[in-house]
């Protein structure tokens, strides 16, 4: 084949493609054309026709044989093909059919040596853009046919691309490029039908990212989006071409594994996923670490339809998250009972919030030297019949998970503040009121507004309100938590660090947080009078607090020996059954008044 010949001088892109035609007219970029013609005379005449017209310019390459043309179509990109139907290798229609296969996306115009309406109709049915009489075509008609073929093809390509794009958007997650929930469900339905026919299993791995919300909230949504993209990129190589991975939304991903015969196979994939997630993610703000919780369900044992399989894998994922995080769990039927119970507790809690089924009890904080009440901790109590047997250790995490913890806080804080002010009006001396705040509440901007509104409505002095947090709650999102605590301190409130010594925070944290009070966890107080290790820990906390100028409250004091030890070591306050269990507001007031004489 000779080098490309040009009708009108033009340039070719570095990648061998002529620039795309942007519009009709002589000013448009040249059209790359493949001429399939075995007759030298006809070839020359066609070149002269194309060169004599000012309406367009062409870059022409020629093939004189069918096989040569097919090879060129497979190797190079052309914008249009001009095909002689009278090639000696076969009938024109057969050649056209083969050319259509080789040049599926290129418009073809055919030239017939004679005006044959039947042959022209057959050619058009096979996909030709136009059929021209070879011997009597005028230059302008030929050029116009070529240009129109290119333009029609361009418009058709745009329509096809738009339809493809529309389908892609409807079936894929635009952030990660993975299939979305709808597409995953459709594909999984087909996979399950095939697996049922051939007697194979499908395993579903339901992945939820641990601590993603913390990163998303603290660094912003762009960082969260980038992290999700990185997760998808990191996990895709672990999945076979026959498997399916999708993003359901948020930080939830799901994987369908085909042809699973034993449980160890999905377990192996789950372990590989956890190991890949454990590697640091490099974002614009630096290195960040996350983990994952994975639930596994397999057909037909754990369900034979899409909904039940995904639901059961989701249930197993929550078991993994509750048990340890950074772990996987297989589904078993006993989990359904647990899920049903959690749903019932959630419903009962919503009803209790709506119908006044919650109340507060108050446990006195006592000065160890004088034995007088100097404070009270407000403790949530469940008076609703359905919730009476539910432990707060179960209820609060569930409330955080469902978003109900905000509603609880918006009821507890003003109720407790109103009660403290009511005791003052009844003649009680002002005391410090301690209110527990969960990790989820600590990250909400509304916490400050809730507390300030309660102080304003009740008239309670802010220095008499102490926000009580745990080490673990503080460490979930230290940056946000510290900002919220600083805001509360500016209002004038106190901050107490509960369960001190049981978390993983460093002592340097005490320099950064605006804390006023340390509460020694009851696990250290229990054996403080008999266990040298507990005694040493408590003594160290007391000595450190004294140096930092912090008040110390010992929790869970139940014996005289514990009280004597704490008093002798300089502990200021205690709280526990030795003095009083949590009591109702009326009984608390009676005790407060009785100590005043």
Per mean pLDDT, which range of 88-97, 174-183, 236-245, 506-515 is the poorest?
A: 88-97
The stretch 176-203 carries a mean pLDDT of: 91
Contact 215, 284 (CB under 8 A): no
Measure the CA dihedral 388/392/394/396, to 10°.
120
| Better-predicted residue by pLDDT, 514 or 6 | 514
Based on the fold, state whether residues 146 and 247 are members of the same structural domain: no
Contact 357, 351 (CB under 8 A): yes
Q: Cβ of 439: how many Cβ atoms within 10 Å? A: 20
Based on the fold, state whether residues 366 and 488 are members of the same structural domain: yes
Instruction: Give the model confidence (pLDDT) of 334-366 as tens digits.
Output: 766 766 777 777 788 888 888 777 889 999 999
Which pLDDT band, with edges at 50, 70 and 90, does 508 fall under? low
Residue 549 φ then ψ, to 5°: 70, 35
**Residue 321 located in a structural domain:** yes
**Residue 575 located in a structural domain:** yes
Which pLDDT band, with edges at 50, 70 and 90, does 26 fall under? very low
Instruction: Give the model confidence (pLDDT) of 530-576 as tens digits.
Output: 999 999 999 999 999 998 899 999 999 999 999 999 999 999 999 99
Instruction: Indicate which CATH number applies to the domain containing 33.
Output: 3.40.50.2300
Based on the fold, state whether residues 328 and 372 are members of the same structural domain: no
The whole-angstrom separation of Cα 465 and Cα 413 is 10
Per-residue CA distances from 519 to 217, 464, 574 (Å): 29, 17, 9
Query: What is 257-311 written as a DSSP string?
Result: EEEE-STHHHHHHHHHHHHHHHSPEEETTEEE--EEEEEEEETTTT-SSHHHHHH
| Better-predicted residue by pLDDT, 20 or 432 | 432
* Vertex 400: Cα angle to 404 and 468 (nearest 5): 100
**What is the H or E stretch that residue 349 is in?**
helix 334-355
Instruction: Give the model confidence (pLDDT) of 452-497 as tens digits.
Output: 999 999 999 999 999 998 877 777 777 778 888 888 999 999 999 8
The whole-angstrom separation of Cα 471 and Cα 158 is 59
Q: Cβ of 84: how many Cβ atoms within 10 Å? A: 22
Based on the fold, state whether residues 155 and 290 are members of the same structural domain: no
**Residue 470 located in a structural domain:** yes
Predicted confidence at residue 387, as pLDDT, reads 64
Based on the fold, state whether residues 505 and 375 are members of the same structural domain: yes
The first and second tokens of residue 527, run together, are: 């054996």
Q: Cβ of 392: how many Cβ atoms within 10 Å? A: 13
Nearest Cα to Cα of residue 345 among 406, 288, 396? 396
Contact 21, 151 (CB under 8 A): yes
Taking 50 as the threshold, does the pLDDT of residue 207 lie above it? Answer: yes
The whole-angstrom separation of Cα 35 and Cα 82 is 5
The whole-angstrom separation of Cα 245 and Cα 261 is 19
The stretch 11-18 carries a mean pLDDT of: 35
**What is the H or E stretch that residue 403 is in?**
none
**Residue 388 located in a structural domain:** no
Q: Give the count of domains, the chain.
A: 3
Taking 60 as the threshold, does the pLDDT of residue 316 lie above it? Answer: yes
Last residue of a domain, one of 138, 168, 198: 168
Based on the fold, state whether residues 375 and 445 are members of the same structural domain: yes
Per-residue CA distances from 77 to 31, 101, 388, 423, 506 (Å): 11, 14, 76, 88, 65
Instruction: Give the model confidence (pLDDT) of 280-309 as tens digits.
Output: 998 888 888 899 999 999 888 888 899 999
The first and second tokens of residue 281, run together, are: 């993610």
> What residues does 517 pair with on adjacent strands?
496, 551
> In percent, how much of the chain has pLDDT > 70?
86
Nearest Cα to Cα of residue 72 among 83, 82, 80, 62? 62
Contact 91, 121 (CB under 8 A): no
Range 331-353 burial, b when 16+ CB lie within 10 A, else e: beeebeeeeeebeebbebbeebb
Instruction: Give the model confidence (pLDDT) of 252-275 as tens digits.
Output: 999 999 877 665 588 889 999 999
Instruction: Give the model confidence (pLDDT) of 407-454 as tens digits.
Output: 888 999 999 999 999 999 999 899 999 999 988 788 777 888 899 999
Q: Domain residues for 62?
A: 5-168
The whole-angstrom separation of Cα 177 and Cα 229 is 9
> In percent, how much of the chain has pLDDT > 90?
38
Per-residue CA distances from 408 to 352, 359, 379 (Å): 10, 11, 12
Residue 412 φ then ψ, to 5°: -65, -50
**Residue 587 located in a structural domain:** yes
- Average pLDDT of the chain is 83
Predicted confidence at residue 344, as pLDDT, reads 76
Range 171-193 burial, b when 16+ CB lie within 10 A, else e: bbbeebebbbbebbbebbeebbe
Based on the fold, state whether residues 226 and 199 are members of the same structural domain: yes
**Residue 173 located in a structural domain:** no
**Residue 547 located in a structural domain:** yes
Predicted confidence at residue 385, as pLDDT, reads 61
The whole-angstrom separation of Cα 501 and Cα 509 is 12
> What residues does 340 pair with on adjacent strands?
none
Taking 50 as the threshold, does the pLDDT of residue 89 lie above it? Answer: yes
**Residue 42 located in a structural domain:** yes
The whole-angstrom separation of Cα 573 and Cα 517 is 10
Last residue of a domain, one of 127, 145, 168: 168
Based on the fold, state whether residues 53 and 163 are members of the same structural domain: yes
Per-residue CA distances from 355 to 349, 383, 419, 531 (Å): 10, 11, 20, 47
The whole-angstrom separation of Cα 32 and Cα 18 is 6
Query: What is 496-542 written as a DSSP string?
Result: EEEEETSS---TTHHHHS---EEEE-HHHHTTTTT-HHHHHHHHHHH
Predicted confidence at residue 388, as pLDDT, reads 61
Predicted confidence at residue 504, as pLDDT, reads 54
Nearest Cα to Cα of residue 537 among 575, 501, 564, 492? 501
Instruction: Indicate which CATH number applies to the domain containing 428.
Output: 3.20.20.450
Q: Cβ of 574: how many Cβ atoms within 10 Å? A: 25
The whole-angstrom separation of Cα 12 and Cα 59 is 8
Based on the fold, state whether residues 76 and 185 are members of the same structural domain: no
Instruction: Give the model confidence (pLDDT) of 171-188 as tens digits.
Output: 899 999 999 999 999 999
The whole-angstrom separation of Cα 597 and Cα 592 is 10
The first and second tokens of residue 573, run together, are: 């306050």
Based on the fold, state whether residues 185 and 159 are members of the same structural domain: no
Last residue of a domain, one of 168, 189, 206: 168
Instruction: Give the model confidence (pLDDT) of 160-174 as tens digits.
Output: 788 888 888 888 999
> What residues does 357 pair with on adjacent strands?
none
Predicted confidence at residue 116, as pLDDT, reads 64
The whole-angstrom separation of Cα 510 and Cα 503 is 13
Query: What is 66-113 written as a DSSP string?
Result: HHHHHHHHHHS--SEEEEETT-TTS-HHHHHHHHHHHTTTS-EEEEES
Based on the fold, state whether residues 213 and 293 are members of the same structural domain: yes
Predicted confidence at residue 11, as pLDDT, reads 29
Instruction: Indicate which CATH number applies to the domain containing 265.
Output: 3.30.70.270
Based on the fold, state whether residues 88 and 212 are members of the same structural domain: no
Contact 110, 123 (CB under 8 A): yes
């Amino acid at each position: 084949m000779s080098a490309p010949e040009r009708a009108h001088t033009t340039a070719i892109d570095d990648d061998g493609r002529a620039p795309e035609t942007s519009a009709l007219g002589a000013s448009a970029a040249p059209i790359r054309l493949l001429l399939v013609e075995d007759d030298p005379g006809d070839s020359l005449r066609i070149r002269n026709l194309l060169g004599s017209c000012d309406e367009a310019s062409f870059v022409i390459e020629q093939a004189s044989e069918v096989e040569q043309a097919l090879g060129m179509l497979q190797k190079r990109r052309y914008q249009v093909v001009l095909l002689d139907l009278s090639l000696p290798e076969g009938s024109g229609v057969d050649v056209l059919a083969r050319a259509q296969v080789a040049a599926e996306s290129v418009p073809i115009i055919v030239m017939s040596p004679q005006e044959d309406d039947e042959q022209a109709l057959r050619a058009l049915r096979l996909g030709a853009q136009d059929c021209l009489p070879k011997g009597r075509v005028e230059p302008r008609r030929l050029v116009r046919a070529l240009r129109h073929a290119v333009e029609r093809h361009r418009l058709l390509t745009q329509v096809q691309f738009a339809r493809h794009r529309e389908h892609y958007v409807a079936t894929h997650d635009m952030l990660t490029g993975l299939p979305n929930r709808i597409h995953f469900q459709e594909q999984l339905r087909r996979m399950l039908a095939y697996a049922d026919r051939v007697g194979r299993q499908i395993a579903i791995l339901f992945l939820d990212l641990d601590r993603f919300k913390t990163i998303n909230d603290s660094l912003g949504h762009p960082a969260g989006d980038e992290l999700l993209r990185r997760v998808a990129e990191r996990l895709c190589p672990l999945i076979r071409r026959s498997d399916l991975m999708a993003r359901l939304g948020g930080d939830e991903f799901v994987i369908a594994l085909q042809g699973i015969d034993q449980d160890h196979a999905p377990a192996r994939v789950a372990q590989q996923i956890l190991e890949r997630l454990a590697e640091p993610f490099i974002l614009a703000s630096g290195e960040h670490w996350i983990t994952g919780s994975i639930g596994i369900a397999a057909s037909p044992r754990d369900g034979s339809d899409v909904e039940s399989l995904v639901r059961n894998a989701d249930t197993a994922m929550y078991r993994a998250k509750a048990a340890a995080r950074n772990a996987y769990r297989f589904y078993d039927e006993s989990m359904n009972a647990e899920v049903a119970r959690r749903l019932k507790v959630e419903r009962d809690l919503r009803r209790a919030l709506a119908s006044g089924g919650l109340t507060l009890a108050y446990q006195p904080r006592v000065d160890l030297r004088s034995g007088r009440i100097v404070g009270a901790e407000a403790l949530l109590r469940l008076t609703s019949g359905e919730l009476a047997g539910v432990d707060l250790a179960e209820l609060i995490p569930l409330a955080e998970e469902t978003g109900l913890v905000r509603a609880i806080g918006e009821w507890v804080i003003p109720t407790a503040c109103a009660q403290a002010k009511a005791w003052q009006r009844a003649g009680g001396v002002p005391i410090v009121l301690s209110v527990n705040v969960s990790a989820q509440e600590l990250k909400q901007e509304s916490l400050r507004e809730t507390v300030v509104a309660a102080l304003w409505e009740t008239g309670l002095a802010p220095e008499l309100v102490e926000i009580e947090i745990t080490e673990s709650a503080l460490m979930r999102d230290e940056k946000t938590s510290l900002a919220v605590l600083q805001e509360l301190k500016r209002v004038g409130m106190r901050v107490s660090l509960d369960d001190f010594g049981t978390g993983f925070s460093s002592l340097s944290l005490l320099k950064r947080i605006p804390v006023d009070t340390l509460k020694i966890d009851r696990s250290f107080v229990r054996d403080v009078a008999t266990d040298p290790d507990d005694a040493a820990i408590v003594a160290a906390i007391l000595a450190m607090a004294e140096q930092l100028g912090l008040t110390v409250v010992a929790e869970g004091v139940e014996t005289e020996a514990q009280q004597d030890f704490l008093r002798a070591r300089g502990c200021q306050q205690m709280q526990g059954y030795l003095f009083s269990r949590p009591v109702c507001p009326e009984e608390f007031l009676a005790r407060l008044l009785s100590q005043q004489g």
